[in-house]
Amino acid sequence: MAQHLNPIPPDLFLWEEALPGGCHWSGILRRGNALRLTDLTGRANVSALFYNAEEKLERYNMPDTLKAQHTAHLTTGHALYSDMGHVLCSVIQDSCGWHDTVCGVSNAEMVKAKYGEATYQTHRNAMHRNGRDGLLVELGKWGLGKRDVVPNANFFSKVVADEAGKLHFDEANSRPGAYVDLRFEMNVLVVLSAAPHPLDPRPDYAPGDVMLTAWKSGTPGADDVCRNACAENQRGFYQTEILFR
């Protein structure tokens, strides 16, 4: 099975925590550590925002990430850039192959219109949750709010554009056990929501469960796949590393 292809060595393991489908999470990942996101059911979507934990005005920047690497999606070898020319984290392993960068998150109205109402009063913790409110709740825990929400990454979701720019959601992108490893190049506040992707056409509210696993990846060497993916990344990694000299 794919999930056993690359087990994390026990001596590098840091911690593990479940993120049930629909739920939200935030925490600090430090430089030299990695976070593995595992899609347990094959239907996960993990909307993610990243902030420099030491200066939260510095944050993940979708356009800078895309422009630097001439890509519209994320997979192995890609760096996630801040708006200040630094690499917040990079994709060092990916058994999935495509993560969306442009479609944003679901909101309360969208989830209610698409899946019907399921409140805490009637459904307890099986209530329907939406991506925007999940992110806002987590951001609030760090003194952040609406002004800090920028276009996010959506791990495990694939949306393809045709020549005219029309978007098509690929339901077969992920599978049970698919994982993506993010290595942190700075000390980063990570904010996650596992609510459904906003363009997922499936009519039932069934966001997949996710496992978060942190481990000691170490910092990138001279031969690193992300550093050497392009000349832009070599400069980006250099500018990030001088912060820690």
Partner 1 sequence: MTSFNLVESPFDPKTAVVDAVVNAGDPWIHEIKKGQVFRILDLEGNQAVDTLFYNARDPEERYSAADTVRAQGALYLTAGTQLMSTEGNVMLTITADTCGRHDTLGGACSCESNTVRYALDKRPMHSCRDSFLHALAHHDGGLTKRDITSNINFFMNVPVTPAGGLTFADGVSAPGKYVEMRAEMDVLCLISNCPQLNNPCNAYNPTPVRVLIWDAPSQ
Provide, rounded to whole angstroms, the least separation between the CB of residue 126 and partner 1: 25
Tell me the Ramachandran region of residue 226: left when phi exceeds 0, alpha when psi lies from -120 to 50, beta otherwise. Answer: alpha
- Axis crossing angle, helix 231-241 with helix 62-69, rounded to the nearest 10: 130
Our CB check for partner 1 shows the closer of 4 and 245 to be: 245
CB atoms within 10 A of CB 224: 17
Our CB check for partner 1 shows the closer of 42 and 85 to be: 85
Provide, rounded to whole angstroms, the least separation between the CB of residue 180 and partner 1: 15
Provide, rounded to whole angstroms, the least separation between the CB of residue 174 and partner 1: 15
Q: 150 near 211, Cβ under 8 Å?
A: no
CB atoms within 10 A of CB 127: 14
Provide, rounded to whole angstroms, the least separation between the CB of residue 191 and partner 1: 15
Reported as half-sphere exposure (CB side, CA atoms, 13 A), residue 13 has a value of 10
Residues that bind partner 1 (CB under 8 A): 57, 61-64, 66-68, 70-73, 81, 83-86, 98, 102-105, 107, 109-110, 145-152, 160-167, 198-199, 232, 235-236, 238-239
Provide, rounded to whole angstroms, the least separation between the CB of residue 97 and partner 1: 10
Our CB check for partner 1 shows the closer of 143 and 221 to be: 143
Contacts of 74 (CB under 8 A, 6+ apart): 65, 80, 91, 94, 98, 99, 101, 153, 155
Provide, rounded to whole angstroms, the least separation between the CB of residue 14 and partner 1: 30
Q: CA-to-CA distance for 47 and 154, rounded, in angstroms?
A: 4
Our CB check for partner 1 shows the closer of 116 and 145 to be: 145
